[in-house]
Chain A
Amino acid sequence: MIEIVDKRDVAAITNKMQIEFAAVSDNESFARMAAAAFITPLNPTMEELSDVKTAVSEAVTNAIIHGYENRNDVNDIVMMNCVLRGDVLEVEIIDQGVGIENVKEAMEPLYTTRPDMDRSGMGFAFMEAFMDNLEVHSDVDCGTAVKMYKKIGISPWIGSEE
């Protein structure tokens, strides 16, 4: 289990939302749109919006095709928790699927259990690259929780560098 401890001061919660949806692939786009819509009041850049959408898409896809073994059963539920602490987004994707036996191995770039399904094994690598922080908790036969953090709204001097 990989745990990245966040040493920043934890600010108070300023907004939150929670949605539950069926683990069917149509909902991958719904989930990333919802997360993107949730952060729009923070005036994110296009880049930040794409980063969050990509990371959420990866986590939800993992829940659907690995956690729930691509059953596309409407009774399988994926939960998305979004919390804002000032300008920091915390987004958590939780499934009650099969879980991951070896999280460290699963997080390695190019590692995939489903090469037959054209999975590239880049899901966790993309989540790590596009978000500031990533925590993965998983128990076999219980499920997996992926929690990601990202500060929204880049400071002006970084913006002018582009």
Chain B
Amino acid sequence: MEDFKVIDNYLMIRLPNEIDHHKSVDISSKADRYIMSQKVGNVVFDFERTTFMDSSGIGIILGRYKKISCFGGKVYAVNADGRIRRILMMSGLQDIVEIMD
């Protein structure tokens, strides 16, 4: 299961092993609930456990970005392996997501 944690103004999302459409619906709605109720400004996606991601993962990131960017919030990706980085780049997300080690 994915884990959610709020630290200061950041929502940390520990993503599951596999991110597809089936999983993404749940992750997005939970994340939105945290963003609304805890008024967090930034979102950090932690890919440490993730070994598979399709374009649904891009949808999760883009959707959350749209929700927080108008209030000046930022989106971060941490622990993304080579393949996930490649998928983020292919989708042009390097401009909106800060990819960190």
Contact = CB atoms under 8 A, between A and B. Distances in A.
5 contacts: A29-B22, A53-B52, A118-B56, A120-B91, A129-B90
B83 interface: yes
B28 A57 contact: no
A118 B63 contact: yes
Contacts, number: 65
The 3 lowest CB-CB distance pairs between A and B, nearest first, are A25-B22, A118-B59, A120-B58
A47 B59 CA distance: 22
Most buried by B among A47, A119, A122, A126: A122
**B interface secondary structure, majority:** helix
A26 B25 CA distance: 12
Interface in B50-101: 52-56, 58-60, 62-63, 83, 87, 90-91
B20 A61 contact: yes
**A interface secondary structure, majority:** helix
Contact of B59 (A26, A29, A119): A119
A50 B83 contact: yes
Contacts of B83: 47, 50
Given A50-B52, A122-B90, A122-B91, A28 B58 contact: no
